[in-house]
Amino acid sequence: MVNSAAIHLQKAEVEVVEVTKEELNWSTVSLSDVINKGKRLEASVFDVESKHARELVRNSKYGYAEINLSDDIIECYTRPRFKRIWLEKSEYPIYQPTSMLDVYPTNDGYISRLTNTDIDALRVHKGQVLVTCSGTIGNVSFVSDTLDKKIFSHDLLRIRFKKEADNGFFYTFLRTDIGKSILKSNKYGSVISHIEAEHINEVIMPTPPIFLKQKIHDLIVKSYENRDYSNHLIDEATKLLVDELELPSIEEMQEEAFSYSKEINYFRIKLSELNGRLEGSYHVPIVDVIEKYLSKNAILVRLDDESLTKKIILAGVFKRNYVQKGHGYPFIGGKEITQLGPETDKYLSKITHKDRYEKELRVEKNWILVTDRGTIGKVVLVPEQMNGFAVSQNVLKVVPNSNHGYIYCFLNSDYGKKLIEREIYGSVVNMIDDKSLGNIKIPILKDEDKVSIINDLVIKANDLRYEAYKKEQKAIDIMNKEVLGI
Q: pLDDT per position in the chain (486 positions), as tens? A: 445 555 554 555 545 545 454 445 566 777 877 787 677 777 766 667 778 889 999 999 999 999 999 999 999 999 999 999 999 999 999 999 999 999 999 999 999 999 999 999 999 999 999 999 988 888 999 999 999 999 999 989 999 999 999 999 999 999 999 999 888 877 655 545 788 888 898 899 999 999 999 999 999 999 999 999 999 999 999 999 999 999 999 999 988 887 765 555 666 777 777 777 767 777 778 898 999 999 999 999 999 999 999 999 999 999 999 999 889 999 999 999 999 999 899 999 999 999 999 999 999 999 999 999 988 999 999 999 999 999 999 999 999 999 999 999 999 999 999 999 999 998 778 899 999 999 999 999 999 999 999 999 999 999 999 999 999 999 999 999 999 998
Please name which of 79, 78, 189, 203 lies closest in space to residue 135, comparing C-alpha atoms: 189
R_g of the chain computed on alpha carbons? 26
Domain ranges of the chain: 31-211, 230-455
Distances (CA, A) of 253 to 235, 293, 317, 376: 21, 9, 38, 22
Q: Do domains 31-211 and 230-455 have the same CATH topology?
A: yes
Cβ-count burial 312-321 (b if 16+ within 10 Å, e if not): bbbbeeeeee
Q: What angle do CA 484, 322, 313 make, to 5 degrees?
A: 110
Q: Which residues pair with 362 in a beta bridge?
A: 390
Dist CA 409 CA 405 (whole Å): 6
Dist CA 168 CA 174 (whole Å): 10
- Long-range contact set of residues 424-433: C-beta below 8 Å, sequence gap at least 24: 424/281, 424/376, 425/277, 425/279, 425/282, 429/373, 430/373, 430/376, 431/372, 431/373, 431/376, 432/370, 432/372, 432/376, 432/396, 433/314, 433/372, 433/396
CATH class of 230-455: alpha beta
- Long-range contact set of residues 40-44: C-beta below 8 Å, sequence gap at least 24: 40/188, 42/188, 44/184, 44/185, 44/187
CATH number of 31-211: 3.90.220.20
User: In the Cβ-directed half-sphere of 358, how many Cα atoms lie within 13 Å?
Assistant: 5
